[in-house]
Structure 1
């Protein structure tokens, strides 16, 4: 389902081999947060997706773990930004901004937000992973999420 959708949306989509359930479980163990079911399903089809001239629509399991760990553990980031503990970054726009699920008990678990690396803003971007992929595909520019929805 996910590969078909992405192939329809992005002419230059690049897929990886599927991630294993054990690999995806590593996200939960390392970050202490459950991976959203829609993300699990996508990663079972492809361990990350690149498009839009090589930018990461969705990172691989390893990239998700590494990027989130780096942001949460960096002493420099702790001085500059609000905590990243409640976010689960899954991809980027190629210009420094990152897309994330907000992993808090109360809330809307499938919504995606964007973290702005210049302002530390966390802005709503999409109501689901599919909505994120679709909005990004028809977007004009790297900061599509700033445009009126």
Structure 2
């Protein structure tokens, strides 16, 4: 985990067991994306040196996504969130999300002030890429950033 945070300390927790992951998927009504499930089987969330849960514990992932998907709370403020599965945040209100409809290995950052959804990482290690982008180490790896914009009528990404 230290390489994700550019050498900074990261707090890892006890792993999530298979039964807890199945229960979370039952409550969410969908499978947890493979790369997130793999990370959670290693550690139930990751906190940075300042205590920010950049990857939330599984229980928080479930609660936050059920809230965001409920529709009634955010319907008048934001585009729909049902194509995203939020899994962490940057400590300033912006949140990390995987695209789950259609399922792809891409991580977006949702800006809570503008409702913009910016692509930050893709591929089978996109969670690690997004977290290294958060700490400013992405540029050092030579990775470029491209942008994708959600369709404002549906909230889905191209």
Normalising by structure 2, what TM-score?
A: 0.77
Is 1:87 aligned with 2:84? yes
Partner of 1:39: 36
Partner of 1:110: 105
Partner of 1:8: 3
Write 1 or 2 for the structure with the bigger share of helix. 1
What CA distance in whole angstroms lies between the structure 2 residues aligned with 1:19 and 1:102?
A: 22
Of the three residues 118, 121, 141, the one matched with 1:123 is 118
Is 1:65 aligned with 2:83? no
1:30-86 CA distance string (max 9 Å, x none): 222221111111111110000041112211110100111111226231111111111
Counterparts in 2 of 1:122 and 1:9: CA distance versus 1, 3 Å: closer
Q: Does the 8 A contact of 1:48 with 1:60 survive in 2?
A: yes
Flag structure 2 segments of 5+ consecutive residues without an equivalent: 139-143, 146-158
What CA distance in whole angstroms lies between the structure 2 residues aligned with 1:136 and 1:40?
A: 21
Flag structure 1 segments of 5+ consecutive residues without an equivalent: 1-5, 141-147
Normalising by structure 1, what TM-score?
A: 0.81
